[in-house]
């Protein structure tokens, strides 16, 4: 059983033969960079006492014998899975968007309304991430899209490995789009590349305008900031301009769209943005698709 | 909770390298953590538990903390923000979203015990230590 996502569980198993990487759990994606034979000149700003090794690489306090140089991101395993997800998506002519927000920002409602508009134009699949329950996937299934629920249990985020399994099980025809609704959390999911083509961060107007500078990692990694529930603006002190200004401090190039899924305001801009992403990531797609 | 996931990822990579280099336990693990990753305490806390029953059990985790530096386009130079970071240059007020250092989360190197006997010994402290303020030592349980 996979200890990362619990893929031995019946809920997530589906059709293992369709798993993108058919499936060795001991990946060694970065075996090419095992031994460095140059000395690094990272500008760390500290004075170090180094023990010199044969190769010229130096590490404080370590003896030279049996020293294994690694120089690898702690997230390299996840990044390897993300890269293979990206390859799999490209091979299947699919575009993937990672939707991130706090709990309760309206991701699922937005998705249901989005699917209502998109389903007639292109195939849609949704990967739902929540700690528990399949409520969100059930809502998506009712709206007519294919959906897979991942329950992270004690986990606080989706990682690329879980997405790899879910992609294999999700039934979306080539030329379609996969929405990944991440676990509602503005901290941990920011760190994990899932292999998506773009990140959409949703900020609802019932939250504080300063969320982008309170949780900068999340907003810095966003391609699009969706400001949701704008139908509630008349009842709140939320300033859209202020929220956008904070977001641009941490991410000057971020695009923004204001949307009310409930009233349908702004949905056209959002659907256009999605179609534009599909055109960009699927070379065979023509702009006349919509 | 992602720190536990990261501790496990790190231990898995370490074990992979360690097993490629023959028998013997891992005595030291050297990692580099950026100030913005803010993982030092969390990773220390999780490392002991996550390493239990692995080749890393009892290993000393050496954490080098990398300070935050950002690029300011207005001043045309790297800056070291002091205190709580507001994403604006403290000199000219320009937004400074480009982080130069401070996001690192890297596994640098490991040191393995040389013989099977070494595996039985509790690992000692390293012979030399760096400046304590920037180089933290944590021992797994």
Taking only the tens place, the pLDDT of each residue in B97-127 is: 888 998 899 999 999 987 544 444 444 444 3
Nearest residue on chain A to B133, judged by CA atoms?
Answer: A46
Selecting from A28, A42, A250 the residue whose C-beta is nearest the C-beta of B16 gives A28
Are B111 and B41 in contact, with CB atoms under 8 Å apart?
no
Residue that wins the pLDDT comparison between B86 and A37: B86
ipTM over 0.85: no
pLDDT of the residue at B133: 33
Q: Is the dihedral of CA A165, A169, A172, A178 positive or negative?
A: negative
Nearest residue on chain A to B129, judged by CA atoms?
Answer: A61
Question: Hey, what are B4's tokens?
Answer: 């536990």
Q: Which residues of B touch A62 (CB under 8 A)?
A: 28, 30, 109, 111, 126
Percentages helix, strand, coil for chain A (3-state, rounded to 5) are: 35, 20, 45
Distance from B45 to chain A by nearest Cα, in Å?
A: 16
pLDDT of the residue at A168: 93
Torsion angles phi and psi, residue A224, rounded to 5: -135, 135
CB contact under 8 A, B130 and A48: yes
Interface test with A, best of B63, B79, B97 (most A CBs within 10 A): B97
Identify the band that residue B87 occupies on the pLDDT scale cut at 50, 70 and 90: confident
Low-confidence residues in chain A, pLDDT < 50: 1-58, 64, 288-290
Q: Which residues of A touch B29 (CB under 8 A)?
A: none
Query: What residues does A100 pair with on adjacent strands?
Result: A201
Q: Which residues of A touch B36 (CB under 8 A)?
A: 217
Q: Which residues of A touch B14 (CB under 8 A)?
A: 70
pLDDT of the residue at A159: 94
CB contact under 8 A, B131 and A78: no
Identify the band that residue B84 occupies on the pLDDT scale cut at 50, 70 and 90: low
CB contact under 8 A, A74 and B105: yes
pLDDT of the residue at B126: 43
Q: Count other Cβ atoms within 10 Å, centred on residue A262.
A: 15
pLDDT of the residue at B83: 65
**List of E strands, chain A:** 51-52, 58-59, 67-73, 95-101, 124-130, 146-151, 177-181, 198-204, 224-228, 255-258
Query: What residues does A224 pair with on adjacent strands?
Result: A200, A255
Nearest residue on chain B to A220, judged by CA atoms?
Answer: B97
pLDDT of the residue at A287: 52
Distance from A99 to chain B by nearest Cα, in Å?
A: 18
Q: Which residues of B touch A66 (CB under 8 A)?
A: 21, 24, 111-114
Residue environment code for A160-191, b if the CB has 16+ CB neighbours within 10 A, otherwise e:
bbbbbbbbbbbebeebbbbbbbbbbbbebbbb
Question: Hey, what are A116's tokens?
Answer: 């209502």
Question: Hey, what are B131's tokens?
Answer: 């400046």
Q: Which residues of A touch B132 (CB under 8 A)?
A: none
Best CA proximity match to A160, nearest among A64, A220, A230, A76? A76
pLDDT of the residue at A28: 38
Query: What residues does A181 pair with on adjacent strands?
Result: A99, A128
Spell out the residues 6+ positions from residue A121 whose beta carbon is closer than 8 angstroms to its own. Answer: A275, A289, A290
pLDDT per position as a tens digit, B6-34: 899 999 999 999 988 877 889 999 999 99
Angle (CA) A269-A271-A277 rounded to 5° is: 105
Q: Which residues of A touch B6 (CB under 8 A)?
A: 74-75
CB contact under 8 A, B111 and A67: yes
Q: Which residues of A touch B18 (CB under 8 A)?
A: 68
Distance from A39 to chain B by nearest Cα, in Å?
A: 13
Cα–Cα distance measured from residue A178 to residue A176, given in angstroms and rounded to the nearest whole number: 7
SS3 A167: helix
Residue by residue, DSSP assigns A17-85 as GG-TTTT-SS--TTGGGS---S------------EEPTTS-EETT--STTEEEEEEETTHHHHHHHHHH
Question: Sheet holding B135-139: strands in order across?
Answer: A67-73, B105-112, B26-34, B60-66, B135-139
Selecting from A61, A74, A252 the residue whose C-beta is nearest the C-beta of B10 gives A74
Are B118 and B26 in contact, with CB atoms under 8 Å apart?
no
pLDDT of the residue at A35: 41
CB contact under 8 A, B109 and A57: yes
CB contact under 8 A, A66 and B21: yes
Question: Hey, what are A36's tokens?
Answer: 């460095």
Question: Hey, what are B87's tokens?
Answer: 């994403």
């Amino acid at each position: 059983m996979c200890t990362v996502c619990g893929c031995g569980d019946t809920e997530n198993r589906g059709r293992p033969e369709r798993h993108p990487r058919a499936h060795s759990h001991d990946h060694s994606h970065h075996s090419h960079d095992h031994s460095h034979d140059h000395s690094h000149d990272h500008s760390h700003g500290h004075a170090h006492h180094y023990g010199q090794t044969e190769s010229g690489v130096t590490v404080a306090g370590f003896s030279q014998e049996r020293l294994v140089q690694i120089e690898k991101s702690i997230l390299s395993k996840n990044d390897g899975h993300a890269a293979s997800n990206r390859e799999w998506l490209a091979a299947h002519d699919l575009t993937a968007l990672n939707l991130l927000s706090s709990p309760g920002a309206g991701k699922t409602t937005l998705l249901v309304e989005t699917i209502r508009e998109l389903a007639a134009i292109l195939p849609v699949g949704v990967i739902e991430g929540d700690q528990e329950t399949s409520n969100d996937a059930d809502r998506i299934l009712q709206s007519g899209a294919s959906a897979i629920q991942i329950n992270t249990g004690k986990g606080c985020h989706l990682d690329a490995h879980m997405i790899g399994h879910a992609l294999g099980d999700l039934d979306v025809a080539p030329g379609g789009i996969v929405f990944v609704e991440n676990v509602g959390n503005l901290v941990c999911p920011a760190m994990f590349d899932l292999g998506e083509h773009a990140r959409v961060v949703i900020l609802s107007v019932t939250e504080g305008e300063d969320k982008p500078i309170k949780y900068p990692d999340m907003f810095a990694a966003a391609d699009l900031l969706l400001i949701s529930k704008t139908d509630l603006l008349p009842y709140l002190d939320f300033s859209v301009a202020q929220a956008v200004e904070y977001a641009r401090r941490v991410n000057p190039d971020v695009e923004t769209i204001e949307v009310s899924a409930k009233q349908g305001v702004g949905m056209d801009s959002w659907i256009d943005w999605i179609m534009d992403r599909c055109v960009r990531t699927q070379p065979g797609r023509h702009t006349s698709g919509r | 909770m992602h720190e536990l996931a990261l501790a496990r990822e790190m231990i898995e990579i370490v074990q992979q390298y360690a097993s490629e280099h023959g028998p013997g336990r891992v005595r030291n693990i050297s990692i580099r953590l950026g100030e913005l990753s803010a993982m030092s305490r969390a990773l220390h806390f999780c490392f002991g538990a996550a390493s239990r029953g692995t080749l890393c059990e009892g290993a000393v985790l050496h954490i080098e903390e990398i300070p935050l530096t950002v690029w300011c386009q207005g001043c045309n130079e790297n800056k070291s923000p002091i205190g709580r970071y507001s994403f604006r240059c403290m000199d000219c007020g320009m937004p400074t979203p480009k982080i130069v250092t401070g996001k690192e989360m890297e596994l640098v190197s490991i040191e393995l015990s040389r013989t099977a006997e070494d595996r039985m010994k509790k690992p000692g402290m390293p012979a030399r230590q760096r400046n304590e303020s920037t180089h933290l030592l944590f021992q797994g349980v």
